[in-house]
Structure formats: structure tokens, C-alpha cells
Amino acid sequence: MFTMPEDNKQNLGLGPPWFKHATPSLIPKVVTKDNDGKLCELPYVWFALLDNQPMVLGTAGKGTTIFGQRLTASLAPPPTYLSKCDDDNLNILYNDYPFNWAISFTLYRLRDPGVIGDVFSLRSSYGQLKALKHENDTLARLITHLQEEQEQHNKEIKEFTDDTTAVRGHLVATQVHTQITPLLTRLAVEGVIPNPIYPQYRPPTLPDEHPL
């Protein structure tokens, strides 16, 4: 993703917010490929929000590349007791947030940061959905306005076309072309207007003036 600055090459250990990945652990691993194409687990991890998305970042040390992946909950082992809870009902996770501190406290007790990340995404989804719906409503209003503008524009085009058709109809009914054709021929014969058959009339040449 990006490269960590090399502020101290002698000490490869990283301080907070980085921490050493423990084994075994519910903390997700960040795995990448080395130069030989082999999978390599990065020893240092860091939980962060990038573009409001829960991410787990991983790196090998200072001056090395930082990689990241989406933070998600791990599959839980089957419970040791019979539960009557409806796991499809997730209302308890976001109702009255952030005042349902007991829920948040018990979620941290699960020791699975992926659960925290998914619950965060679920809780923030309402605001994101509300923003998307607001944007969709805005687009719908713009589309309606543009459709009204287009209808008005089409109406003006039709009125202009009808007026032009009426003007053409008047000129056709008056037989303007038939009326002006003999006049044009007469003007051409008299040399008033240019014509490929009849030469154009030219006034007599004026006498040359004596130069000063």
C-alpha cells in the first residue's frame, strides 16, 4: 500500500500503534509474497480505518512496505451450550448506539477484532445508506427537472417548426417562385444581373483623370 519511513534503521522494532502479532491468536494475519513468490506472514500489525473501512495493516519493519486487507470477523467455533438466540437478528448490535455500552464491552471481551470491525461497519451502514438515499433523491429531482426542461424545449422546437412550415406554405401558395422567374429573366436580358447566357450590363467607362 505504501512504505514506512526509515527513521531508525538500527531498531527494527515498531512502537504503538503497531504491535507484534502473537501466535496463536484470533487477530487476522496479513500475508504477502516475498521476492521468490513464497507466502510470508508479516510480523507487525495495526488496526486502522481507511476511507471509513476497518483494515488490518501489516509490515515487516521500518523502511518496508505496508500492506493491508479488510478486517472481518473470524468463524466462531460452535457454542458449548444450547442457545435459543436468533443469530439472524442483529438489532441488539446497533440499537441505541453509542449508549449501549454493555454490548460494546462484551464485544471487546470476545477478543476478535474482526467482530469489532464488522459491527462498526454495520453501525455506520445506516448513515451511509441514508446519504446514498439522499443522493438518489437529489438525482431523481434533477432528472425530473431535466425532463420538464426537455419537454419545454421540445414544445418550443415544435412551435418553431410549425411557424416555419406555415411560412413555407404561404410562399408556396403565393407561387413566389413562378412570379419572380420572368422578372429574373428580364433582368438578365437587360444585363442588370449576371447570367451565364446574357452578359451583365456595365456602365460606360469614365474618362481618365489627369494626375496631379
Q: Domain limits of the chain?
A: 1-72
pLDDT in tens, 156-206: 999 999 999 999 999 999 999 999 988 988 888 888 888 777 766 565 665
Using the predicted structure, report yes or no on whether residue 140 has a pLDDT greater than 60: yes
pLDDT in tens, 40-82: 888 888 888 888 889 989 888 888 888 888 888 877 777 777 7
Rg (CA), the chain: 42
Using the predicted structure, report yes or no on whether residue 99 has a pLDDT greater than 50: yes
C-alpha distances in angstroms, 95 versus 17, 33, 76?
30, 42, 23
Reported pTM:
0.56
Burial of 166 (0-12, 13-18, 19+ CB in 10 A): exposed
Residues of the chain with pLDDT > 70, as a percent, come to 85
